[in-house]
Amino acid sequence: MIRTFAAIDIGSSGLEMGIYELSEKFGIRLIDQVRYPIALGEDTWSSGKISYRRVDETCEALAEFARIMKGYQVENCRAYATSALREAQNSQIVVDQIRVRTGIEVRIISNSEQRFISYKAIAYKDAEFQKVIQKGTAILDVGNGSTQISLFDKDSLVSTQNLPLGAIRLMEIMRHMKTTAEKEQKLIQELVDNELVTFRKIYLKDRKVENLIGVGKVTLVLYRRIMGEVNQRDRITVEEFNRFYGALGRMTLDQIEDTFEVNAVYASLLLPAATIIRQVLEVTGADNIWVPGTLMLDGIAADYAEERKLLRFNHNFANDIIVTSRNMAKRYKCHMPHIQAVENAALQVFDCMKKYHGLGMRERLLLQIAADLHSCGKFVTMRNATEYAYNIIMATEIIGLSHVEREIVANVVRYHLKTFQYNDIKIDAKPSRSSRLATPDNLTLTVAKLTAILRLANSMDRSHSNKLDGCRIAIKNNKLIISTDYVGDVTLELLSIEEKADFFEEIFGIRPVLKQKKKV
């Protein structure tokens, strides 16, 4: 069965739509693509709001997109908005206007979701992707509002960071400076280097990066000019890029327009974007850039196809999220044997309680992340550590998680040691693909359930000695029986589990009890 699907990307410099045919047999096939240039990001980063004139223009363009979708008999559509709308103060008004005037439901996605979707588009090129990431690799996603650098090592995503370095954002800074073209290029280099120096110290220490994967619309435009439209090679060497960069720096804006066949607005973005790529090449020491030629639209289609089981990735994306969380725990000097013990216990309890909590695999993943990060606040202070842990999690983007999901994790960590306050759980419940997580009441209940499980799991390793490793968990007569064959002293675990039992019973109606089969 072939499904027709439309992906819409509402970006900083334009609106873009791809019409795809999706099937289990043939995978993903792009059959049409439409682009409408509109600089929404200019409004956001200059005034903080998108002007009504541009809102009106956006609605008219999307109405035309809707007519095209109707012509193709599109069965389903996903429209995602990124940094321009995400950072605009009037974003919800804009989204509502689009819905009322075009019938298109727009979802504003977090930066971590945006990069994860782009990352799925690359992973769709399965064989080459798996080959490249076996060695030290960085994915460089140069956007108009920001730049994301994600580091891979031995098939796993080890870290990802978002830097406030976007082509439009840099141009907005330059616009207020009266200077020569040569001076402007040096100033952009300095701005980029200033952001990269901290990244290099923290994330590139003792790490060898051999390959750079370049994604994003502007990277693709630069690649096509460097390599030529007829060249089938999808890799650019450092030498090829540096020669091109030198030539680009000597061009006037008019020459860039003519050479790249773009308008003045887009032409002004190419040098800042190329500067970001050049400086990242220099900082990482990568030998080449692989340009897979994927766009955000491809990622949206791949994500949808995977959900509908029309596509299966060989790469384990959930594992990337977990590895990233564990690396974050290491960065904040968490006691990793204890972290692993709590994670194992939490998942064991979650799986045993399926009939009682009614949660799914996504919530199980959030619990796992909360277990990994539950003690990161101690890096700041041992006193009131859960408040600092909450702030650390909310200040750190975890790739693949929406803003709402990150808030759930942060609140679970926040309340795993302090009295749970139902009325204090305030989560910005924006529309989500998961209807179960869509309302404030459901979100509070989800936080309460995961908190109760994390509290119990943490108490099961109260001595930080993993004494209950290999324990068995079963539910009998409204009791969660935790049975252990450990022959040593489990007094700390026994007292701690009893202390956490009231809240667990309050949430699930099941009381946890520790039973030691063999005693000293």
Report helix, strand or coil for 417: coil
| Residue pair 108/81 in contact by the 8 Å Cβ criterion | yes
pLDDT at 192: 84
What count of residues does the chain have? 520
Please state, in angstroms and rounded to a whole number, the distance separating the CA atoms of residues 319 and 4.
30
Using a pLDDT cut of 70, give the percent of the chain over it. Answer: 94
Strand extents, DSSP E, 229-304 = 235-237, 288-290
Using a pLDDT cut of 90, give the percent of the chain over it. Answer: 48
Residue 105, token pair as written in the block: 């439901």
Residue 323, token pair as written in the block: 């590895």
Question: For residue 92, which of 135, 37, 39, 55 has the smallest C-alpha distance?
Answer: 55
Q: How confident is the model at residue 439 (pLDDT cuts 50, 70, 90)?
A: low
Q: How high is the mean pLDDT of the chain? A: 87
| Residue pair 459/507 in contact by the 8 Å Cβ criterion | no
pLDDT at 231: 57
pLDDT (tens digit per residue) in 312-326: 887 788 888 898 899
Q: How confident is the model at residue 433 (pLDDT cuts 50, 70, 90)?
A: very low
Question: For residue 415, which of 450, 369, 380, 364 has the smallest C-alpha distance?
Answer: 450
Among the ranges given (108-122, 176-190, 253-267), the one the predictor scored with the smallest mean pLDDT: 176-190
pLDDT at 295: 86
Residue 502, token pair as written in the block: 């009231």
Please state, in angstroms and rounded to a whole number, the distance separating the CA atoms of residues 222 and 215.
11
pLDDT at 211: 87
- Residue 304: CA count within 13 A, CB half-sphere: 24
Question: For residue 374, which of 431, 329, 421 has the smallest C-alpha distance?
Answer: 329
pLDDT at 57: 96
When comparing pLDDT for 1 and 326, which is higher?
A: 326
CA distances from 469 to 264, 313, 340, 364, 398 (A): 64, 33, 11, 20, 29
Plot region of 99 (φ>0 → left; ψ -120 to 50 → alpha; else → beta): alpha
**CB-CB neighbours of 48 under 10 Å:** 11
Please state, in angstroms and rounded to a whole number, the distance separating the CA atoms of residues 311 and 66.
26
**CB-CB neighbours of 232 under 10 Å:** 6
User: Mean per-residue pLDDT for 353-363?
Assistant: 94
- Residue 251: CA count within 13 A, CB half-sphere: 17
**Consecutive H or E run containing 474:** strand 472-476
pLDDT (tens digit per residue) in 257-271: 888 888 887 788 888
Nearest 5°: the CA angle 405, 123, 65 is 75
Q: Which amino acid is at 261?
A: E
**Consecutive H or E run containing 497:** helix 491-508
When comparing pLDDT for 42 and 172, which is higher?
A: 42
Among the ranges given (176-190, 374-388, 405-419), the one the predictor scored with the smallest mean pLDDT: 176-190
Please state, in angstroms and rounded to a whole number, the distance separating the CA atoms of residues 147 and 245.
19
Question: For residue 44, which of 94, 2, 105, 1 has the smallest C-alpha distance?
Answer: 94
Residue 436 has pLDDT above 60, yes or no: no
Residue 78 has pLDDT above 80, yes or no: yes
